[in-house]
Structure 1
Amino acid sequence: MSKEVSFTDIDTFRKDLAEHPASAALARAVQNVGPYAASRDTLGKAAMAPVFSDEIDTGAVTNQKKSGRCWLFAELNTMRHFSSDKFGIKDLEFSQAYNAFYDRLEKSNLFLEHVIATADKPLTDREVADLLAAPNGDGGQYDNAAGLIAKYGLVPKSVMPETFNSSQTNEINASLELKLRKDAVELRQARAEGADEDQLRATKVDQLSTIYRMLAYAYGEPTKKFDFEYRDKDKQYHIDRDLTPQSFYKKYVGFDFDDYVTLASTNAPGKKYYQTYTIPAQNTVIEGQPVKAVNVPHDVFTELAVKQIQAGTTVWFGNDVLADMDRKSGTLEGGLYDLNGLFDVDFTMDKGERFATRQAEVSHAMVLTGVDLVDGTPRRWKVENSWGKDNGHDGYFVADAKWFDDYVYEVVIKKSLLPADVLAALDKEPIALPAWDPLA
């Protein structure tokens, strides 16, 4: 039987507080500025200087503004650096709105397919409840970006620029989720009244047509053909006419997504090293690139990120940017906020414990563009963010080794750099995880 908090307990708590050293001074600090500012380490230390032994030359940063498209920005950024160097186009930027349009359409389709597949289950079923909790958002994974680009191609940002809704997604998010939950009610009711799968899918197509119209209002309708004009680094003018998004991608980027593999690193209970995991519920592009990752020890994870930078290729990585981060200075420092010392409490958990308890969260994606090595060991990393040039060092952040060890959870690495045991793991049957698994 559960036991209440008694007034005797509270009297004990009061006595403990009164006896705690400097509690009055610490309380004033926390009440005035909050626990983070009261516990923050000194900024601007020499150890966090934006100087790196190995660095890839990249250009101006992008800005996702008030949207959750970091995963897409990070992937487009890795490709634009490649294309800018290849064709001599300074600060080439691809349209994030173009791919975001199709991302929302594909997510809507996946949601409605899941609704049809679970229409006979009660609303209290965990899978159904998890599905209805988040019908459509603008977050995603590396493989979602790869699937979208492989299917729909790319266009330059000049062809399909940002809109209010692509840069600030809360209103269109809420509108889509309202529509999709209403669609779920209609599909489930039709199933209860005896509709078969063909009839349900015919209804789904009608529903998607409305969603397409909503997206066209919000993002603009994607172009099917366009001309690409640019001046190269030598100021020479170029024009390429009658391109499609697919032909533009093939000519100006040409990435083979099969050459890249997502690596995760967690020692959470039940997660084995050198095992591939997949998350079917997040395969937003049906029949596209599935979301999967090979779980490896952290030292392998780190070594491969260094090798890829040294080979001249930037690294897409998933992380918890909200942990130990000072946004304005662009500081990502492990232990930046000493909450242990402030509250005299041991908050320490290893990565596996954080995943198991959902303290760990892949809240953001960015790009590694440099590393500073001392005797072959990473001391700090150069990080390209997508929050505009007014944060950090013209938009670039600096992460120390402890932050990388604690809060970097995924990296995308070229197959040619992978050791034999990681390649062997790719040949194993992936273990499918439910949508609510911590690794998701």
Structure 2
Amino acid sequence: MSSADPRIDFATGARLRVWSRIWRYLLVVLLSVIGWFGVYGLFAIAVDEGTAADSTQFWVLSLVDPVIWLIAMGLLPFRRRIPATVAVTASLLSAFSVMAATGPAQLAVASNATHRRWRSIIASIVTGVVAATLYNRFVPTGYVEETPWWIDVLGAAVGFALPAVFGLYIGARRALIASLHDRALEAERERELQIAAAEAGERTRIAREMHDVLAHRISLVAMHAGALAYRDDLTRDQVRGTAVLVQENSRRALAELRQVLGVLRADGAEGIEPPQPTLETLPTLIDEARAAGAVVDASGSVAGEAPELVSRTAFRIVQEALTNARKHAPGAPIRVRVDGHAGGLLAVEVTNGAARAGAAAIPGSGMGLAGLAERVELVGGTLEYGPDGKGGFAVRAWLPWEECDE
């Protein structure tokens, strides 16, 4: 969802559909025609029946009325850009045209009210009431009895207040939809921030582990290498012993670097956690899942022993996928497949079917897969997850498996 979604633009009134524009103008034309016949048509009937005196001035006004109406209609396309000006102007024209009063002025007042600015709403209504009252008082038809002025004012007030109320309702509805849309966008932004925070937390833990595990060994390597470079009083045996120490600590540093994800410091705990499990302990993980009631089908073939960092990442992928399956699709069958060989890729795929009917899903934070993606990216792999198109969910990863020279 985005602010440029056409559905939101239409729902909030930012844009109008073609039919929405057409029916508004058709309604305006219909009301205007009814208003014209309601005054001039009935006057013609009254003259023909002899109940009203013929008036040349009145017939001239009947021809001028549509001209003023056309001017009012020409203002309507600008009602969304300058709503208050159009509403007040169209209402003023009601003093000279019954067609403008019953058609364009009504739409202009309603459109202005959707913006919910009370000063312009009251100004347009008052202007319309005064203009319509002046028309009724100074352009008498002569075929009905003259009514008290307050009845004319009351009728005009009702005639202009009704479209204003309708416009206020539309404006409130549009504002509600816009507010809900903004909340949805804000929720999306918060979700992105949570994922970013999870990734940042994962990077922080990795950096902290690298410092804890590697700093000591690298410092030993640097110290002994410096001794070899600057001390010329060492015997051959001392030089050989120092070189062995440099070699040994370098190898240990490389081994511990491969285990970097498995020795993360626990928050608030002293020391360093023991190495995390690898693919060698995957059967135990699957047996534990089965013991908990899950139906797990494990398959695949791993030729050789994968590097510890890759192996540990693969284990975490399977562990997280099994956890998500238990949370979101309890009772669904799970299929685990791990394939790979040295010099190629280690492929991990975990899929689960749809949740069993009546099973209650456990809500999750949604951060597990975000952290998993960070782990996979750190080993240079690729992670994909999402619906599998069959009502279930799939997690797939491809991890590079380089041949080891050790």
TM-score by length of 1: 0.16
Task: Specify which structure has the bigger relative contact order, considering alpha-carbon pairs within 8 angstroms and separated by 6 or more residues.
Answer: 1
Larger radius of gyration: 2
Is the helix fraction higher in 1 or 2? Answer: 2
Q: Which has the higher strand share?
A: 1
